[in-house]
Amino acid sequence: MTDISIYSNLSKLLGFSLGSYIYKVNIDEYLIVFIIMFVLFSSFKINNFKNETEKNSERLVFNKLKRKYIIINTALLSGAAVFFIPLFIKQLAARNLIQYSSIIFFIPGLTVVLFLILTKKYDINLNKILMSYIIFDIVFFILVICEVFLPLQVILLSLIVALGVSISIKLRTNFIKINDKDYRKSIVQIFRISAPLFTIILSFVGLYVENIAYYILLINAISAIHVLYVNLRNREHTLLD
Ranges of residues in the chain with a pLDDT under 50 are 2, 4, 6-7, 9-11, 45-46, 48-59, 238-239, 241
CATH number for the domain that contains residue 118: 1.20.1250
pLDDT of residue 154: 92
Asked whether residue 193 is assigned to any structural domain, the reply reads: yes
Count Cβ atoms within 10 A of the Cβ of residue 224 and give its class: 0-12 exposed, 13-18 middle, 19 or more buried: buried
* Composition of the chain by helix, strand, coil, percent to 5: 80, 0, 20
In a domain, 241, yes or no: no
Can you say whether the dihedral through the CA atoms of 232, 62, 164, 82 is positive or negative?
negative
Q: Could you give the CA distance from residue 106 to residue 100 in angstroms, rounded to a whole number?
A: 10
Q: Is 6 a domain residue?
A: yes
Q: What is the pLDDT of residue 129?
A: 93
Q: Is residue 161 part of a domain?
A: yes
pLDDT of residue 7: 46
**Residue 21 included in any domain:** yes
- Convert the pLDDT of each residue in 17-33 to its tens digit: 555 555 555 555 555 66
**Which range marks the domain in which residue 48 is found?**
2-233
In a domain, 239, yes or no: no
- The total of structural domains in the chain comes to 1
Residue 142, φ and ψ in degrees, nearest 5: -65, -45
Residue 199, CA distances (Å) to 59, 80, 81, 209, 235 in order: 28, 10, 11, 14, 32
Question: Which pLDDT score is estimated for 138?
Answer: 93
How high is the pLDDT of residue 50? 47
Q: Which amino acid is at 144?
A: V
Please provide the DSSP assignment of 86-135 as one string: HHHHHHHHHTT-GGGHHHHHHHHHHHHHHHHHHHHHS---HHHHHHHHHH
C-alpha–C-alpha distance, residues 96 and 207, integer Å? 26
| 75: exposed, middle or buried (Cβ count in 10 Å: 0-12, 13-18, 19+) | buried
Q: Give dist(CA 47, CA 137) in Å, integer.
A: 36
Identify residue 92 by its one-letter amino acid code: L
Measured distance CA(104)–CA(158) in Å, rounded: 9
Instruction: Give the whole-angstrom CA distance, residue 171 versus residue 192.
Output: 14
Q: Which pLDDT does position 137 carry in this prediction?
A: 93
Domain assignment of residue 96, yes or no? yes
Candidates 235, 134, 202, 120; CA nearest to 169 is 120
Evaluate whether residue 131 is within a structural domain. yes
Four-point Cα dihedral 166, 83, 20, 162, nearest 10: -10
